[in-house]
Structure 1
Amino acid sequence: MSHNGETSARTSSKGLASGSLGLLACVVLGISTIAPVYTLTGALGPTVREVGAHLPAIFLVGFIPMLLVALGYRELNAAEPDSGTSFTWSARAFGPVMGWIGGWGLVAATTIVLSNLAGVAVDFFYLFLGQLTGRAELIALSDNVWINILTCCAFIGIAVWICCRGIGTTMGVQYVLVALQLFVLLGFCIAAFGQSPQGPALAFDLNWFNPWSIGSFSSFAAGLSLSIFIFWGWDVCLTVSEESVSSHAVPGRAAALTVLVILGLYLVTAIATLRFAGVADQGLGLGNPTIQENVFAHLAGPVMGPLAILMSIAVLASTAASLQSTFISPARTLFAMGYYQALPKRFASICPRSLTPRFATLCAGAAAAIFYVSMRLLSENVLADTITALGMMICFYYSLTAFACVWYFRASLFDSLRHFLLRGLCPLLGGSALAVIFAQTAVDSASPDFGSGSHIGGVGLVCIIAVVILLLGVVLMGIFRWLIPAYFSGQTLQRATLRAPQALEAGA
């Protein structure tokens, strides 16, 4: 849909451009937000650091709670398609306070990942320029703190500008960028399978798929937290439910399909990378701390030869696409919070031309830029630490939403086997698994040796990031509860009309 076309589009009850996205568009948006090339280059190394060669096992285990939670999201969306997703559904199930906390968890997680996305984009932007011109000094520019920060903020600004032009403009860019990154990622895997292994060879081993072989539960939980991070983003399919065709059904199907496609990509990439590089802590091994910082930046040359520049382009495409699509979730969550008056009404404003929550999008961009600048000045290991902290935030709001599904449908859980499984057992198991991972990672992250080893006063930086973010959310909630009490008294939650439980089957 063109920019001009969006001005005459049908609008949802909140003013968004309804009927703009079909099933394919939602799946592409989900893949774009997950950004498989970006997530793998940033997470493969830290995950190997925790679980060694058991990458496929931890990916499979991480997939299971994601799928179970996605089924719960699908049921909630069938009952109430709402751009606020976790915020709105948690508020319906548990009341305004828990709803606000759920919304804050989503906004915090996306703020972290947006800053991380922009940081990876900066590294690969200057790597691409260096490869293109043959000048190593251009590659080194990403290590200059202030050049890095300014470039990162520029990338965030461009992504915000595109998002503010409308969902149609965003999708026009997404199709090209997603296709490019998937083409190069599969090319990398094929080339890795065709190359001779580097360093100590790793023959294919079914034990890679055995999670019980991981050394300790702490390592398992930390690896799983990172695995959760690389699957995160599929819920954007539900965030755009009010802008999708068949809003009660298509977004839920798109979310489940997105998770399945991503699992296949991850397993192929993990096997190809393990076979080629191994897990040694020297040379090109994935256990090498230098390699772990940015896997594809170091392996693309040995694997792809003169075509390595394509990987730099793919990571740029992946981060650029995800920067745009990831802004959708926090912007629409902030928009929904403004609509229900959990935030000032200004957040609920819609641009009449693009039918987008422009003010909420600008605020999300500003928050991501501020977070990145703060973290970059605070820690040299900002990428690794924010990825781990992000995993904790994801576990928090996903588990809360999964539990909200069970409680929301508590009266109909035993009406049928389908209800018991999809509204009760599946989200309960998925949410419980994520809650355990969150608790274990929260305890472990207090150690100064956790993650990258960065710490303040002997407390791990990952733990500090998570605690500060959660406490900030509680403080802001207290301020808004005092300034705009209508939401917290339950008055504004009556705006939406829910579908009757017996009518959900037709839309599921």
Structure 2
Amino acid sequence: MSEPAAQPQLKQGAIGFVDALVIGLASTSPAYSLAAVVGAVVALVGVYAPGVFLASFIPMLLIASAFYYLNRADQDCGTTFSWVTRAMGPWVGWLGGWAIAMTGVLVIGSLADVGVRFGLLALQLDGLADNTFVVRTLTVLLIIAMTAVCVIGTEFSAKLQNGLIIAQVGALLVFAGIALVKGLAGDGVEGGGLTPSLSWLNPFGAGGGALTGGLLLGVFIYWGWESAVNLTEETQDSESTPGKAAIVSTVVLLVTYLGVTIAILSYFGTAFLADRSGEEETIFATLATEVMGPWDWVLLLAVSTSAIASTQTTILPASRTGLSMARRHAMPASLARISPRFRTPDVSTWVVAAIAIAWYLVVNLISENALFDSLTALSLLIAFYYSLTGIACAVFHRRQLTRSVKDFFLIGVGPVIGSLLLIWLLVESIGDLADPANSYSGVSWFGVGPPLVIGIGIFLVGVVFMVVWRFTDARFWAEKTTTVERLQADIAAGRTGAAVEDPAP
């Protein structure tokens, strides 16, 4: 009798460090992220916006350190789901995986929508950009196209991202250079022409209340760098390359955000930006026209390519998380299918896209503001699973923390501090989002703001799904917590299945 055919696996070694770095950068969508928050942050803290972005970078770097050390111990494309399960148990781990998957579902449609709108504006097709039916149709087609790219192969995805990131960052640098030169020459808008100062890097310059609001927005613009780690099983030298790419990407983002924000402040000043803090979808179009005149399409194209690139790279972590959860029996088994031809998780990738399209269309039927409110709810899910990851790092490596001062701070204290900062921001965010006045729609759902209802609603749906699946298939919930030392011993002995119980206290 012939041996049963081996199940197809993800393609190992498909991408290298540069590809992983580019995917991490593209997932954050730098141009789109700046367009989404720069006006609001300046409205809150004025010229201290660069300082807020600097302060927001600190918890991201600390959590990136947690991703680096956790990936060294466990190269699982489910990242937070797998690590939190091993360190803190299946219930908490499942919720971490759910949060990652749902952030993708919430944002994919919005990213594609921005990519379409700014692409049409860059082509001088303003009439089509204002046509709701055209934009939504093209948005759905773009999601389908980017999903197909993800399914065709990780190598193809990486090559596409390399081109998109060059176009995006190049356009941002051109815009920032022109804005800075004109601003320093006194050719900025009325109230602009400011001379950059080191004091702009002081996050406390505008006071505590403004800093809190700014940090909540600042964390959003860094979110997504960990996509490089979700591709760990498909990356060369998977033990170290994905984690290094994640850390380096956060540093590159910091430099980009500081440089562009300082240039914008120099040219426009604070009043111009603060007055347009509610124009997230169009503010970069306005800035581009003011700075670059007939060449404004360069920046518009940057925002478009930024959003398109992020549409694709946001699908990747959600689909890999679904794959990881399914092969551990925490989700339906069909999500664990890997295409024999392309060696990518085709079923989970298309499922993520289908849910994202449905969410985009249904929420838009409620109102365009409801879609923006769903994006605001992202801050709750992001802070939740990032903070879980930081704590899991210290718990998982708890026996290693006393071996050296370096381990104590980089593996234990640093990630925990990052988690505590994010938990604080999570609590502050819940308080802010409870006020309907802080939502895009400005209406009340059940007495609180729509973003809080959406965030809590998604969490509760996850809890219900988790409990139902627990009674449908209990195998995942048989997993026990472990430590990095015990896991490595199990791997060496060939016991690479579920996490095993750690009998020692």
Compute the TM-score of the two structures, normalised by the length of structure 1.
0.89
CA distance in 2, matches of 1:216, 1:319: 32
State whether residues 27 and 237 of structure 1, in contact with CA within 8 Å, keep that contact through their aligned partners in structure 2: yes
Residue 459 in 1 paired to residue 448 in 2?
A: yes
State the shift of 1:45 in Å. Answer: 2.3
- 1:197-235: CA deviations, max 9, x gaps? 212124324332222223443x32332121111111111
Residue 175 in 1 paired to residue 175 in 2?
A: no
CA distance in 2, matches of 1:247, 1:261: 21
> Structure 1: which amino acid aligns with 2:180?
F
Q: Summarize the alignment of residues 8-19 of structure 1 with structure 2, pairs less than 5 Å apart.
A: 15-19=9-13
The runs of 4+ residues in structure 1 deviating greater than 4 Å are 491-494
Aligned residue in 2 for 1:206: 198
Residue 138 in 1 paired to residue 132 in 2?
A: no
> Structure 2: which amino acid aligns with 1:106?
I
Aligned residue in 2 for 1:448: 436
CA distance in 2, matches of 1:451, 1:46: 13
Match of 1:60 among 31, 54, 60: 54
Match of 2:42 among 34, 48, 60: 48
Identity %: 34
> Structure 2: which amino acid aligns with 1:138?
L
CA distance in 1, matches of 2:197, 2:481: 56
**Corresponding residue SS for 2:15:** coil
- Structure 1, unmatched stretches of 5+, are 1-11, 504-508
Match of 1:478 among 467, 478, 492: 467
CA distance in 2, matches of 1:427, 1:483: 35
CA distance in 2, matches of 1:228, 1:464: 21
CA distance in 1, matches of 2:380, 2:112: 20
State the shift of 1:493 in Å. Answer: 10
Aligned residue in 2 for 1:436: 424
Aligned residue in 2 for 1:272: 263
CA distance in 1, matches of 2:212, 2:474: 39
**Corresponding residue SS for 1:52:** helix
> Structure 2: which amino acid aligns with 1:483?
T
Match of 1:191 among 162, 170, 178: 178
State the shift of 1:467 in Å. Answer: 1.0
Match of 1:81 among 67, 75, 83: 75
Compute the TM-score of the two structures, normalised by the length of structure 2.
0.90
Aligned residue in 1 for 2:503: none
State the shift of 1:89 in Å. Answer: 0.3
**Corresponding residue SS for 2:338:** coil
Aligned residue in 1 for 2:498: none
State whether residues 293 and 384 of structure 1, in contact with CA within 8 Å, keep that contact through their aligned partners in structure 2: no
CA distance in 2, matches of 1:194, 1:383: 37
State the shift of 1:427 in Å. Answer: 0.4
State whether residues 285 and 291 of structure 1, in contact with CA within 8 Å, keep that contact through their aligned partners in structure 2: no
State whether residues 8 and 340 of structure 2, in contact with CA within 8 Å, keep that contact through their aligned partners in structure 1: no
User: What RMSD, in angstroms, separates the aligned Cα atoms of the two structures?
Assistant: 2.3
Match of 2:150 among 160, 163, 168: 163
> Structure 2: which amino acid aligns with 1:460?
G
**Corresponding residue SS for 2:304:** helix
CA distance in 1, matches of 2:237, 2:9: 17
379 and 58 in structure 1: CA distance in 2 versus 1, 3 angstrom threshold: farther
- 1:437-461: CA deviations, max 9, x gaps? 0111011101011143532344212
**Corresponding residue SS for 2:273:** coil
Aligned residue in 2 for 1:114: 108
Residue 304 in 1 paired to residue 292 in 2?
A: yes
Match of 1:233 among 213, 224, 229: 224
Aligned residue in 2 for 1:101: 95
362 and 292 in structure 1: CA distance in 2 versus 1, 3 angstrom threshold: closer
What count of residue pairs does the alignment treat as equivalent?
Answer: 479
**Corresponding residue SS for 1:412:** coil
Aligned residue in 1 for 2:318: 330
CA distance in 2, matches of 1:154, 1:486: 38
CA distance in 2, matches of 1:436, 1:392: 11
> Structure 1: which amino acid aligns with 2:449?
G
Match of 1:150 among 137, 141, 144: 137
- 1:387-417: CA deviations, max 9, x gaps? 4222221111000111011111112211211
491 and 359 in structure 1: CA distance in 2 versus 1, 3 angstrom threshold: farther
Match of 1:345 among 296, 317, 333: 333
392 and 309 in structure 1: CA distance in 2 versus 1, 3 angstrom threshold: same
